[in-house]
């Protein structure tokens, strides 16, 4: 990561066409951007394409970069947009259902099955590489638009309004998707959340 001074130096290097600055930029952000795109797309190959395209866009447009945000924020936004474009080309307008993952209720609106076990300690769960892998795999099973909404709102911290704009949806739609995605993640992770 760069502080304000080192980022300015890097930007100047990029503007001047310095190959070492290009490499430094790519080396520094490659991993985190790939991680972001990989999480949104659930696919390593597509993620690499999106990140590559984001770097190319940044390098082509670096002269016009106004520094209203950090270089990293700008890059992440481009990666998000690239990833969303990839998702749109993949799924079109079809929105998959989450019904199979949702809880079942009886005719009076109450749970059919009661819970067993006690809640696990999140700190401990997070420390286990096996659990981290399970969580990632479960996340990849969510339908694309739900996974992307969850990442953008809960991990990347974009507002509902921003996510709505990015995903061409209404704010109400984003809220519904986020809620259902969270419920689905909770339900998918139930086996690891209880001991």
- Contact range with another protein by CB under 8 A, out of 2-10, 73-81, 87-95, 112-120: 112-120
Residue 22 in contact with another protein, rule: CB under 8 A:
yes
Three-state SS for the chain is CCCHHHHHHHHHHHHCCCHHHHHHHHHHHHHHHHHHHHHHHCCHHHHHHHHHHHHHHHHHHHHHCCCCCCHHHHHHHHHHHHHHHHHHHHHCCCCCCCHHHCCCECCCCCECCCCCCCECCHHHHHHCHHHHHHHHHHHHCCCHHHHHHHHHHHHCCCCHHHHHHHCCCCHHHHHHHHHHHHHHHHHHCHHHHEC
Residue 23 in contact with another protein, rule: CB under 8 A:
yes
Between 94 and 187, name the residue whose CB sits nearer to another protein: 187
Residue 165 in contact with another protein, rule: CB under 8 A:
no
Residue 12 in contact with another protein, rule: CB under 8 A:
no
Residue 115 in contact with another protein, rule: CB under 8 A:
yes
CB of 116 to another protein, least distance (A): 9
Chain residues binding another protein by CB under 8 A are 17, 19, 22-23, 26-27, 30-32, 34-35, 38-39, 48, 51-52, 55-56, 59-60, 103, 105, 108-111, 114-115, 119-120, 122, 125-126, 129, 131-133, 135-136, 139, 150-151, 154-155, 175, 178-179, 182-183, 185-186, 189-190, 193-194
């Amino acid at each position: 990561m760069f502080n304000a001074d080192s980022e300015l130096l890097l930007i100047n290097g990029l503007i001047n066409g310095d190959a070492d600055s290009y490499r430094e930029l790519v080396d520094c952000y490659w991993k985190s951007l790939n991680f972001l795109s990989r999480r949104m797309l659930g696919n390593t190959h597509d993620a690499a394409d999106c990140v590559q395209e984001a770097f190319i866009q940044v390098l082509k447009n670096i002269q016009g970069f106004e520094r209203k945000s950090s270089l990293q924020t700008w890059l992440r936004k481009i990666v998000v947009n690239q990833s969303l474009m990839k998702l749109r080309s993949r799924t079109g307008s079809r929105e998959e259902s989450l019904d199979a993952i949702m809880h079942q209720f009886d005719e009076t609106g109450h749970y059919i099955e009661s819970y067993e076990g006690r809640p696990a300690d999140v700190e401990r769960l997070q420390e286990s590489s096996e659990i981290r892998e399970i969580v990632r795999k479960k996340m990849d099973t969510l339908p694309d638009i739900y996974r992307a909404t969850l990442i953008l709102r809960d991990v990347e911290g974009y507002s509902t309004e921003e996510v709505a704009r990015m995903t061409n949806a209404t704010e109400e739609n984003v809220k519904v998707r986020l809620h259902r995605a969270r419920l689905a993640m909770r339900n998918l992770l139930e086996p690891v959340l209880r001991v």
